[in-house]
Amino acid sequence: MHIERHFTATEVVRDVVIGMSDGLTVPFALAAGLSGAVDSNAIIVTAGVAEIAAGSIAMGLGGYLAARTDAEHYQSERARELRECETVPAIEQEEVAEIFRGYGLSDAEVKPIVAAISADRDRWVDFMMRYELGLEQPDPTRARTSALTIAVSYIIGGFIPLAPYIFIASTQGALLASVACTLVALGVFGFVKARLTGISPLRGGLQTVLTGGLAAAAAFGIARAIG
């Protein structure tokens, strides 16, 4: 038996990537920058927790608004397609025919297909939304799910570089441990993401370490320069 395995949770992975990558780099940069300015892990942890709280809320809200915008855009375009199917049906039928001609079908083959699709208004509009505009109907719970996924991912990612400052007394020792933990977390995160999306896990892990490491290093350098 032939079983097809396709990964379809791309939106969830995208949200996890957004939240986790920022959660790993921004709190790390803050903690690392503060490590050069103060010699108090309590201050660093307090500032880090405050940043994680603010960052997770801001990122989650951004994900919520982005998903809401996608849903509103879809509904707006669907209403427009519905009006066009009602007011200029001949033009819309010709657009359906053009789509099938693009797949090599003749006019004789296209005609009954167009008639069948346009016989049902809702099915006709759904077809135009998907194949003319390339839009899929968003999940109605997408906004809430996206906000929660991004926020939780940010929190998890943020506590990874911050944890050494909680358990290690020396600020410089905590900084070194934080760097190590962050790079390992980036590697594991990239490896898992690559496995889910079907690319080489090794390449995915290395890409994430390099990208996240460069971002963290840049943020750390800026924080130290300003501090």
Q: What is the pLDDT of residue 7?
A: 46
Instruction: Decide: 100 and 113 in contact? Cβ < 8 Å.
Output: yes
Instruction: Decide: 25 and 219 in contact? Cβ < 8 Å.
Output: yes
Q: What is the pLDDT of residue 198?
A: 67
Q: Tokens 């660093």 sit at which residue?
A: 44
**Of 60, 54, 18, the residue nearest 148 (C-alpha):** 60
Distance CA 159, CA 31 (A): 11
Helices 142-167 and 41-87 sit at what angle, rounded to 10 degrees?
Answer: 170
Distance CA 88, CA 154 (A): 48
Q: What is the pLDDT of residue 9?
A: 53
Q: What is the pLDDT of residue 8?
A: 47
Element (H, E) at 167: helix 142-167
Distance CA 111, CA 114 (A): 5
User: In the structure encoding, which two tokens stand for residue 107, read together?
Assistant: 């006019």
* Sign, CA torsion 60/63/69/74: negative
Please name the residues in contact with 180: beta carbons below 8 A apart, sequence gap of 6 or more: none
Instruction: Decide: 27 and 51 in contact? Cβ < 8 Å.
Output: yes
pLDDT of the chain along its 227 residues, tens only?
544 454 445 777 778 888 888 888 888 888 877 877 777 889 989 999 999 999 999 999 998 998 888 888 888 888 888 888 888 888 888 888 888 888 888 888 888 888 888 888 888 888 888 888 887 787 778 888 889 999 999 999 999 989 999 999 888 888 889 888 888 888 887 777 777 666 777 777 787 778 767 766 776 677 667 66
Could you say which DSSP state residue 134 is in? -
Provide Rg for the chain, Cα atoms.
Answer: 25
Q: What is the pLDDT of residue 6?
A: 46
Q: What is the pLDDT of residue 171?
A: 86
Instruction: Decide: 15 and 149 in contact? Cβ < 8 Å.
Output: yes
